[in-house]
Structure 1
Amino acid sequence: MHDATILGIDPSEAYEPLKMQNSRGEWVTWTPALVKQRIAVLKEVMLGRPGDDKRAMMEEIKTLRSLKFREKERTKAYLHWASTSRSTVMAISG
């Protein structure tokens, strides 16, 4: 499988930042403020459920905390693959 595909990027299209679900279940472009807000909501919900299984919420918190790093890696990879694609096209056409 192509590295760009694994990272979820398509160098032939415009870059799209990662999305996350907000508290209403809508998919929105992530921001550090939204991540912080969502983690706070999840922690509050976990405190209100002392006997419940919290593994899914803990996994979501881990995923949210990794968004900044993942976005940075995707951006770097997109720029790399986009420049590679352009130079390949120029070499073929030129």
Structure 2
Amino acid sequence: MGLVEILIMLAIGAVAGWLAGNLIRGGGFGLIGNIVVGLIGSVIGTFIGGMVSGAMNLNIPGIVGSIIWATIGAVLLLFIVSLFKRV
């Protein structure tokens, strides 16, 4: 994995984390927080996307697809964290 791929991955994580923060909490978490939430969310989203894509023959290619699945995963991550945080 080269430098360009790492920078793209970090940019996708930042965008996904920012979008998820705006959808769930109403604001972002700062650059580092957005990247962390987005990267963890992208792992979750890739797993879910693989299951959904295989079951429904749905494939969203490219960077847009990566941002969509990473955002879905990040939103799920923030939702699950909010359930435990309230206890």
TM-score (norm 1): 0.35
Structure showing greater Rg: 1
Bigger share in strand: 1
